[in-house]
Amino acid sequence: MSGPNKNRSIFFVAAGVLLASVLAVHNPSTPDASAAPPCGTPRGGPCPTTTTTTTPTSSTTTTTTVPPTPQCISPQDCLSQLTLDEKIGQMTQANHLALDSNQDIADYHLGSLLAGGGGAPSTGNTPQDWADMVDTYQAVALSGRLGIPIIFGVDAVHGHSNVYGTTIFPHNLGLGATRNPALAQQIGEVTAKEVYATGIPWTFSPCLCVARDERWGRTYESFGEDPEIAAMMTTYIDGLQGADLSAQNTVLATAKHWVGDGGTVGGDDQGDTVLSEADLRAIHVAPFVDAIARGVGSVMPSYSSWNGEKLHGQQYLLTDVLKTELGFDGFVISDWAAIDQLPGDYNSDVRVSINAGIDMVMVPNNYQLFQDTLRTEIQAGNIPMARIDDAVTKILEAKFALGLFDQPFSDRTFIGDIGSPAHRAVARQAVRESLVLLENDGVLPLPKATGEILVAGANADDIGNQSGGWTISWQGSSGDTTIGTTILEAVQATVDPGTTVTYNERATGRITGDFGIVVVGEQPYAEGQGDDQHLGLSAGDTNAIDRVCSAMPCVVVLVSGRPMLIADLLPTTNAFVAAWLPGTEGEGVADVLFGDFDFTGTLPITWPRDMAQIPINVGDATYDPLFAYGHGLTYGP
């Protein structure tokens, strides 16, 4: 049932005008054999209506075009009226940037659109641009015969991270270091509020992968190496979905990536996880059990394989285990073009993945070919209609649960709260609690009142590096990519007015100061582009550490998506802090360095001595790391 409280109607007027324009320009007709009749015919349903209202306190008359009333009242009612091609459309998710024209949304009955990393609207990258774009697409969808809304999805993986000016939280590995489920839920709530305000009802998060090898480029998307942490942080799902998906400021969550993506041999992204079923269940399945118990609405399979078989074709894991044994009753969405990696031709890819249990396919580009292929396989009897009807029902159930049939357009009531001080305060707290003090010989906390503090390192004054991948673009980038406070700016704002803060990025020339802060680490990356067989700091980073730390007491702040090789550097430093990828709120780092708050974070992942130790995980028979899982110093006794 759809919820009565979903308030997406605030922009019905504007979206109605968009819908009227769409219908005036093009009378929809489907390009396939099961073409549905146009509106205004006995089977086509009513066309959009025009209502005229007069404001009681004014003589002004307003004419508004409103969306057609949906021609079905429940998932089962919709299913009973859908043609084969309309069912296929509901199972299709297209990249919005790949649309040949917006009218294809109606002509191909598309059930979903997505914006991948960097998939901002052509008009700009403000929250308003996103809401306008989604409403435009929704208006076209509603012009279809049954008026079934699309569900738009986005990778909001550490805040609404594609959109300029939003609140960017620490990536998951940092959140795992907090071991604070209540904070994770609060972060989910803030993220949902910012995503919802832009008209988007669905995010492809959280990632519940259990990272077992630091060489993996997606390590920072994991909450840690132990399933207990990932399970603990599934409260994030509660924050996203709330108690009622039909309420304001809620979005559908996606538990990903089912299952074992963090355990591939050699940390190879999209590689092969070679494990017994018992170990797969104990390590990698476990967090999903908690996610399902919390009612997660969708699940995304992994690109990776289990013992040589791609997850997107694994009927045993997708249907027998996930849906039947564990009782997952949402829908399964494929990853980006992931079915293309299955062995065989494209017909085989489609047939095997759908029969395995994929409900919606993130095509994402050639949606026409996908639909033609799926139709061919169904008509040939290779995919049972019962499997299609099951998939479509699950998708429709999610749309009704979100209230999209009642209120399909954006509700911008809280769009002004995006990136607000209150939201950034939550992110600042998350940064504070994520920091792990690896070593300290007494130099920390730093004094606010001193003669001079020297700040060095390439990551000291760079929001892009501080935020990492999946920030504004898929891979992320260095520089002023979005609004935030760098660690340097936070230090400058924290010290007493009489303290001089000098920034010398590369630690060149004359080195002076009473204390030094050297901020080093990785530059942004995402997925396989981040796979790394070395994990060493750059020559520039090590040079900055050597020059500053040989001249004065110093603290090194490591901004990275995983542990890096630092054993050789520790003898030259006085304190070493793992800051992970903290996001936009650098003040959280300064809060702790200068003693306004104590360190509380503990390692969610084992810190290796050298590459020869990798993979190394808590519980291994041989376990002698540089810093153990759970390590973390404090200022207290």
Q: What does DSSP assign to residue 439?
A: E
Given 32, 411, 461, 527, which residue is catalytic?
527
Is residue 335 part of the annotated active site? The answer reads yes
Side chain identity at 324, as an amino acid letter?
T
Helix 421-434 and helix 181-197: axis angle, to 10°? 150
Given 335, 349, 406, 532, which residue is catalytic?
335
| Residue whose tokens read 């940064």 | 431
- The span from the CA of 242 to the CA of 252, in Å, is 9
The contacts of residue 73 (CB under 8 Å, 6+ apart) are none
- Would you state the structure tokens that stand for residue 198, as one six-digit string? 């832009």
Please, are residues 243 and 591 in contact by the beta-carbon 8 Å criterion? no
Residue 274 has a CB neighbour count (10 Å cut-off) of 15
Side chain identity at 29, as an amino acid letter?
S
Helix 181-197 and helix 127-142: axis angle, to 10°? 70
Is residue 522 part of the annotated active site? The answer reads no
Q: What does DSSP assign to residue 145?
A: T
**What region does 209 belong to: left with phi over 0, alpha with psi -120 to 50, or beta?**
beta
- The span from the CA of 97 to the CA of 100, in Å, is 9
Q: What does DSSP assign to residue 207?
A: B
Residue 19 has a CB neighbour count (10 Å cut-off) of 25
The contacts of residue 568 (CB under 8 Å, 6+ apart) are none
Q: Which residues are catalytic?
A: 335, 527
